[in-house]
Chains A and B, each alone.
Chain A
Amino acid sequence: GQQLNQSPQSMFIQEGEDVSMNCTSSSIFNTWLWYKQDPGEGPVLLIALYKAGELTSNGRLTAQFGITRKDSFLNISASIPSDVGIYFCAGQLIRGGSEKLVFGKGMKLTVNP
């Protein structure tokens, strides 16, 4: 099946530091999304990207849709303790009239105060 390679798998940073994570695939996606999951909860959408090359910000978050449509990155600036969680990338796949999201394995972020 389709796979998204998300890296790194985990990061430990100090409060105030910036963090970057990315996703790559051998397939072309029409849309890239980034989600965050807190412990015991479902994923929550952070940013959606709809066009190749698009750069979008949401507060301290910045994400870009790669030109090749096979990758995306997410940056978090000036991290704070509540940024702790698991971050997932997801790509939209359209096959045979069906649309579905394919998720990366997630990046676990720990922020030390």
Chain B
Amino acid sequence: DAGVIQSPRHEVTEMGQEVTLRCKPISGHDYLFWYRQTMMRGLELLIYFNNNVPIDDSGMPEDRFSAKMPNASFSTLKIQPSEPRDSAVYFCASSYPSGGVTDTQYFGPGTRLTVL
């Protein structure tokens, strides 16, 4: 298996632009998570889905952030409009159907976002 796939790996954009991050979970996993990592705040859960349904989005910082999972093999995290403080590494992770949230979460390589 290729593991969790994220694209792009790096994104540099200007303030005010729309940014879309993409994730393909491991086939057969029914949980998908979006995290944000910064030096100041560490690794924070933004939102997670179970069977394509958002379960907890309490970590989404504000209305500029939105996430969708139209099918079991694809999810997007969108920031519109982007701001410099959104600069961070964004990780997607997925986990097994037989387990719960705390079972092994497989992380993707991350997308490093820089907003100028």
Contact = CB atoms under 8 A, between A and B. Distances in A.
A42 B100 CA distance: 20
B109 A42 contact: yes
B116 interface: no
B25 to A, nearest CB: 13
B68 to A, nearest CB: 19
A100 B110 contact: no
Contact of B42 (A30, A44, A103): A103
A80 B104 CA distance: 25
A100 B56 contact: yes
Contacts of B56: 98, 100
Given A40-B109, A100-B56, A48 B102 contact: yes
Contacts of B107: 41-44
A99 B105 contact: no
Contact of B55 (A33, A88, A98, A102): A98
B74 to A, nearest CB: 18
Which of the four size classes fits the interface of chain B?
20 to 34
Nearest to A50: B102
Given A98-B56, A104-B42, A42 B101 contact: no
Nearest to B31: A99
Interface in B79-116: 91, 93, 100-105, 107-110
A79 B43 CA distance: 25
A44 B105 CA distance: 8
Nearest to B93: A42
A99 B93 contact: no
Interface string A33-71: 100000011111100100000000000000000000000
Interface string A20-41: 0000000000110100000011
B4 interface: yes
Given A40-B109, A42-B93, A44-B107, A100 B42 contact: no
Query: Taking each of A41, A88, A101, A105, which has the highest tally of chain B beta carbons within 10 Å of its own beta carbon?
Result: A101
The 3 closest A-B CB pairs, nearest first, are: A42-B107, A99-B101, A98-B56
Interface of B: 4, 42-45, 48, 55-56, 58-59, 91, 93, 100-105, 107-110
